[in-house]
């Protein structure tokens, strides 16, 4: 039985996926503020993590130890809006990287489970939401 890593296309496909993903992150208004200006080290870690996460060689653990994803992400304000943006960037990057279509739903399901688990901060209300809330408070 093949792993998701193998089904998606292995190392070359994963490298394309990670590169396409971080090109999007750099320009995403919700994600860019929580990432460093130089995405190179983050991109390398993501490649290693996703290789392992999808059933490839344990590249991340060999270098960094157990992923401890939630603990490593706690210093960053990860909101539901950012989780959705992260998943949208990953979905588009999969298409650009030409990830094989058969495993894509399962890849996205696993990523979504992880993205929602990383949330540690509520979304901030937008100006429109603030004014809507003020209007509801004064009308009652």
Domain boundaries, the chain: 4-124
Express each pLDDT in 22-67 by its tens digit.
999 999 999 999 999 999 999 999 999 999 999 999 999 999 988 8
Helix (H, G, I), strand (E, B) or coil at 105: helix
CA distance 43 to 76: 17
In terms of Cα–Cα distance, which of 122, 106, 116, 132 is closest to 53? 106
Provide the 10 A C-beta neighbour count for residue 19: 15
Which top CATH class is 4-124?
A: mainly alpha
Express each pLDDT in 57-115 by its tens digit.
999 999 998 888 888 887 889 999 999 999 999 999 999 999 999 999 999 999 999 99
DSSP code at position 2? -
């Amino acid at each position: 039985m093949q792993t998701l890593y193998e089904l998606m296309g292995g190392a070359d496909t994963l490298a394309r996926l990670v590169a396409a993903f971080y090109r999007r992150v750099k320009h995403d208004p919700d994600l860019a503020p929580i990432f460093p200006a130089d995405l190179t080290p983050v991109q390398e870690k993501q490649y290693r993590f996703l290789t392992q996460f999808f059933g490839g060689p344990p590249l991340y653990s060999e270098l960094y130890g157990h992923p401890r994803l939630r603990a490593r992400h706690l210093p960053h304000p990860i909101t539901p809006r950012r989780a959705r943006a992260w998943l949208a960037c990953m979905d588009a990057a999969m298409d650009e990287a030409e990830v094989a279509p058969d495993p894509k739903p399962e890849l996205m399901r696993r990523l979504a489970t992880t993205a929602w688990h990383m949330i540690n901060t509520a979304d901030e209300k937008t100006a429109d939401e603030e004014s809507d809330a003020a209007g509801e408070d004064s009308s009652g």
